[in-house]
């Protein structure tokens, strides 16, 4: 996943207090509410784009799918989805959600100093070339939070995740995120109007100090990220892609970008939550 230097002594006390608090909250909640089966209410996201070693991406994806999604979920985070970038054979991208910024530090500490990562860290890290391309993001608005779908059901979905996940990453000028988002909304509405395309979230840079510095985050923002799920290649190539190509000049004309937007097309891994659901 990522190489984390041993800094456990700094955070042990915070972790213990947080675990006790979470445990008592879970007990109290279990007594008064019916648990939801799908994680919800996430406000902080890491958009993590890894470069794996040559020829090892499928193996890395198998390690990830096998060991890590439930480990994150049991700590209160969620692997929203994990994907293989089509135009980059060494690109493995995934999206992780946390309920709050404080939870990011607590959950990451619990995971990276915990038993699952200790057991599998070397196997995963040996397949990684770079893991520092990470955007720390928040939903543009509460109703634009990324979709957290049910986990893959091995009975009803024996072949795994289907569909195509796309991300349009906009480098926005400082102080212009809200203005650009308002101006770009008509473009996003055209994307959503295409049958076979679903918006999966709109995120913007969360400009705060890194509260878990063992995991670097990019500081060259701000960025706006539009996420979508596409039913199949025919919809992507003949419906959505032409809209994206035509939108380039329109969005650049807004005058709020400091660079060229990046269009990333990705295939969900076998167990990715974010996928096409009928």
Please tell me the predicted confidence (pLDDT) of residue 32.
38
Instruction: Tokens 């060229």: give the residue.
Output: 260
* SS3 label, residue 115: helix
Instruction: Look at the alpha carbons of 44, 47, 52, 57 in this order and tell me if their dihedral is positive or negative.
Output: positive
Please tell me the predicted confidence (pLDDT) of residue 15.
56
Spatial contact of 239 and 194, defined as CB atoms under 8 Å apart: yes
Helix, strand, coil proportions of the chain in percent (round to 5)?
40, 25, 35
Please tell me the predicted confidence (pLDDT) of residue 278.
84
Q: What is the pTM of this model?
A: 0.88
Please tell me the predicted confidence (pLDDT) of residue 35.
43
Cα 271 from Cα 278, distance rounded (Å): 16
- How would you label 192-225 residue by residue, b for 16+ Cβ within 10 Å and e otherwise? eebebbbbbbbbbbbeeeebbebbebeeebbbbb
Q: Please give the domain boundaries of the chain with CATH numbers for all domains.
A: 10-23+38-268 (3.30.70.100)
Spatial contact of 202 and 182, defined as CB atoms under 8 Å apart: no
Q: What is the pLDDT along the chain (278 residues), one digit of tens a residue?
A: 555 555 554 554 455 545 545 544 443 443 334 345 789 999 999 999 999 999 999 999 999 999 999 999 999 999 999 999 999 999 999 999 999 999 999 999 999 999 999 999 999 999 999 999 999 999 999 999 999 999 999 999 999 999 999 999 999 999 999 999 999 999 999 999 999 999 999 999 999 999 999 999 999 999 999 999 999 999 999 999 999 999 999 999 999 999 999 999 999 999 999 999 98
């Amino acid at each position: 996943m990522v190489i984390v230097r041993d800094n456990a002594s700094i955070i042990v006390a915070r972790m213990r207090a947080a675990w006790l608090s979470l445990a008592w909250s879970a007990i109290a909640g279990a007594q008064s509410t019916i648990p939801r089966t799908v994680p919800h209410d996430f406000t902080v996201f890491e958009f993590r784009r890894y470069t794996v070693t040559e020829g090892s991406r499928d193996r890395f994806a198998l390690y990830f799918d096998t060991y890590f999604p439930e480990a994150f979920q049991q700590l209160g985070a969620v692997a929203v989805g994990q994907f293989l970038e089509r135009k980059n054979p060494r690109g493995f991208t995934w999206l992780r959600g946390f309920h709050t910024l404080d939870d990011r530090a607590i959950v990451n500490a619990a995971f990276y100093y915990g038993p699952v990562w200790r057991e599998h860290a070397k196997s995963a890290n040996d397949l990684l070339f770079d893991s520092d391309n990470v955007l720390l993001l928040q939903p543009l608005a509460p109703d634009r939070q990324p979709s957290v779908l049910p986990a893959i059901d091995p009975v009803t979905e024996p072949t795994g995740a289907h569909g195509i996940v796309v991300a349009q990453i906009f480098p926005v000028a400082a102080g212009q995120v809200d203005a650009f988002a308002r101006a770009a909304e008509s473009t996003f509405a055209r994307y959503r109007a295409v049958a076979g395309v679903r918006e999966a979230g709109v995120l913007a840079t969360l400009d705060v100090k890194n509260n878990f510095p063992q995991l670097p985050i990019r500081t060259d923002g701000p960025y706006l990220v539009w996420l979508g799920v596409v039913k199949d290649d025919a919809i992507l190539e003949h419906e959505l892609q032409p809209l994206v190509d035509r939108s380039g000049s329109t969005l650049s004309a807004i005058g709020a970008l400091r660079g060229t937007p990046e269009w990333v097309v990705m295939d969900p891994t076998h167990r990715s939550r974010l996928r096409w659901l009928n």
